Amino acid sequence: MHAVTVADAFIAQYYLTVPNAGPEGDPHSREYGIELTFEGSELDEYGYLLDIDEAKAALEAIEERYTDQLLNDLPEFEDTNPSVERFAREIATRVAEALALESVETVETLRVTLREDESAWAAYEHSVSGASVE
């Protein structure tokens, strides 16, 4: 299995909306570490899984969307708790759409890993149905 990962970090704000959230129930900033990992069994005719520059551009678009934003105020988190799990899934959906992964024949999965700190993270794996596995 081949894998390509691009990674970076950005700062966003949020507050939890669960009962008894304690200090996490107040708006605060968090530095998120983010990794986008693309996996597939086959490479294209040039020996690539996907264009790394396109993966980096998708990552930059995610950073532009969320940096210095209050997640709770964004439509994708309306009436939901902005957990790191939901955030990872939302990012995966946006990246898959931005890169039109359904039409990329070599990418089988996209995994988004979102780190809250050095010891806590969540991941979401998006299966790509357009991949052709031989």
Q: Mind listing the pLDDT tens digit for each residue in 21-35?
A: 999 999 999 999 999
Mean pLDDT, to the nearest integer, of 67-80?
A: 95
Mapped onto helix, strand or coil, the DSSP state of residue 102 is helix
Pick 131 or 5 by higher pLDDT: 5
Residue type, 20: N
Would you say 13 and 71 are in contact if contact means Cβ atoms under 8 Å apart?
A: yes
pLDDT at 18: 93
Q: Please return the burial class of 119, using the count of CB atoms within 10 Å of its CB with bins 0-12, 13-18 and 19+.
A: exposed
Domains in the chain and their CATH numbers?
2-17+26-127 (3.30.479.10)
pLDDT tens column, 36-68: 999 999 999 999 999 999 999 999 999 999 999
Of all helices (H) and strands (E), which one includes residue 86?
helix 84-98
Mean pLDDT, to the nearest integer, of 100-127?
A: 93
pLDDT at 103: 83
Would you say 47 and 58 are in contact if contact means Cβ atoms under 8 Å apart?
A: no
